Structure 1
Amino acid sequence: MALGWKLVVDAADPHGQAAFWAAALDYEIEDNTPVIERLLGLGAIDASMCVEKDGRRNFRGAVAVRHPDDPVAPDTGIGTGRRLLFQRVPEAGAESKRAKNRLHIDVHAGPEQREATVAKLVALGATRVRHVQEPQGEWTLLLDPEGNEFCVA
């Protein structure tokens, strides 16, 4: 049986990264209100571990985005399908980045939508690095707001 998975991305500003990637991929920022309220009620966490964003409580140090068509666990608000989880780590961020990512996201826009998609992502805060045209394919390399490489193919 195949295993489920999520991609976890270290971030200096997980909520900023989640907002960027949700807009970039047309994903939704997860609403973890049910699990946060339950944990607060049990005294397992306190309000300092939460932050208010878009009128709802979120965990301060982590937030996920998910594909809008994928299922969600009703008792937690956590997606059970395609997800990116951004977690705060002190060493993350563009200023601390010194090497190429060992793992990166490829956004599949298709040749007819590549330039429009790149323009949208730049408007959201990405930085265009270069366009690549090689025998095996064509793509544009960009950096997200924290300096992580990703490609639009």
Structure 2
Amino acid sequence: MPLDWKLVIDCEDPHRLAHFWERALGYTAEDNSAHIERLHSMGAITEGQIATDDRHGGRKAWRHAAAIRHPHDPVDPDTGAGLGRRLLFRTVPEERQGKDRLHLNLHPGPDAREAEVKRLEALGATTLRVVVEPGGHLVAMADPEGNEFEVR
């Protein structure tokens, strides 16, 4: 039986990065507002753990985390968390150092690669280098916080 998963990405601003990747991948931002309000009303979390998500109608969100999910995957109705393919962005105190040990490869196909790179740049990505080698062509890019990914 296949497992549900989430890739956790450490970052400075989880809401900004989640918004970038939501638009880049065509994913859906998770709505945890009902769960957050329930926990807050029970006294299980404090006001300091809650943020306002201005990009999604001002709903309540986690201050130090934001997640996006594949739009066709199921959702836990109690928490709003995706139950399939997810990216979770969480705040960490240290700055990013060195090359990423894990990265996403996006596959729009050779005919759509150039247009996809331009679209991602308009969303805030940066092109790092173009690699053309026997058996492959890719564009190495970085998201708004410098996390690398490839468009193939």
Q: Deviations over 1:16-45 (max 9, x none)?
A: 000000010011110001210111111000
Structure 1 residues without counterparts, runs of 5 or longer: none
Counting only pairs closer than 5 Å after superposition, residues 1-153 of structure 1 correspond to structure 2 as 1-53=1-53, 54=56, 55-91=58-94, 96-153=95-152
> Separation in 2 of the partners of 1:77 and 1:97?
29
Q: Is the 8 A contact 2:10 2:89 kept in 1?
A: yes
**How far off its partner does 1:84 sit?**
0.2
TM-score, normalising length from structure 2? 0.94
> Separation in 2 of the partners of 1:98 and 1:50?
28
* Amino-acid identity (%): 54
Q: Is the 8 A contact 2:10 2:90 kept in 1?
A: yes
TM-score, normalising length from structure 1? 0.93
Structure 2 residues without counterparts, runs of 5 or longer: none
Q: Deviations over 1:46-70 (max 9, x none)?
A: 1221111122000000010111111
**How far off its partner does 1:7 sit?**
0.2
> Separation in 1 of the partners of 2:116 and 2:129?
14
